[in-house]
Structure 1
């Protein structure tokens, strides 16, 4: 399972760090830092082994950028499968939230989990080309609910 996404902004650009300092600053084990050095993180020659902050930030940013990839048109990201998947039977629901934006909901064709994706109503044809998108209105809010509140003490306090 891939590790967490590490924040490169925790590293100061003009500082030099040892492996222990860098590990504490980023919240990872010092062996992780040593593995990064083995994979390609540049360190300053000599002892103790020092890492320049700007180099570390650039290294972490390139690693994080490789993990981030937008879903192509017609697909969702399934959290259960951990991959991009097409909706089952090509059926998608668009739940209109506010001002033309909303949520796309579909079922994963592989595992059957519910998948969600944010989208604008205007961009539905570009995001989900050739798929059947049903547009539904959002469910009513609690203030518009016909069921009264169970907190009766509030009304008693208002009258007294």
Structure 2
């Protein structure tokens, strides 16, 4: 089951939350807050109703989210199937520009042969992918610049009454 990354900035620092209030604030189930308590989120006291200080909740969620990050070192892209930073197969990478300064880098994972993607600036390609053969691709055409109208046009059916 996939885990949802909760935004810790939704919690107010100087407020205490009950289990149901914290669940409603973060958009999770009450049992999720109780699981967090088993994982190390501590209430103010063990007496009912359980109250959690907002500052402690925000700090705990920030540390939990930071522990799940996987930064990619130079020369690697993140593979979603392997869930690890991997090197591209045969060192071949394709750069597809979005605008003049930035674009998307695509490559095939050397382990599982899945297509990997990463956003990158054109100026920093050499630092992100040292030793890789980067091929520049054309940007995809947009519908906005299309000279002919679409075929499902209803202009012929409109009649003036």
Q: TM-score, normalised by structure 2?
A: 0.82
Deviation, structure 1 residue 27: 2.9
Say if 1:152 and 1:85 are closer, same or farther in 2 by CA, change over 3 A.
same
Q: Which runs of 5+ in 2 are unaligned?
A: none
Deviation, structure 1 residue 44: 1.1
Contact residue 85 and residue 108 of structure 1 kept, 8 A: yes
Deviation, structure 1 residue 69: 3.3
User: For residues 111 and 98 of structure 1, what CA distance do their matches in structure 2 show?
Assistant: 31
User: For residues 34 and 156 of structure 1, what CA distance do their matches in structure 2 show?
Assistant: 60
User: For residues 114 and 5 of structure 2, what CA distance do their matches in structure 1 show?
Assistant: 24
Contact residue 97 and residue 137 of structure 1 kept, 8 A: no
Would you say 1:92 and 2:93 are equivalent positions?
yes
Matches within 5 A, 1:139-154: 139-144=140-145, 149-154=150-155
* Aligned residue in 2 for 1:109: 110
Say if 1:144 and 1:129 are closer, same or farther in 2 by CA, change over 3 A.
same
Contact residue 70 and residue 84 of structure 2 kept, 8 A: no
Question: What is the aligned-residue RMSD (CA, Å)?
Answer: 2.4
Per mean C-alpha deviation after superposition, the further-off stretch among 135-144 and 121-130 is 135-144
Higher helix share: 1
Q: TM-score, normalised by structure 1?
A: 0.83
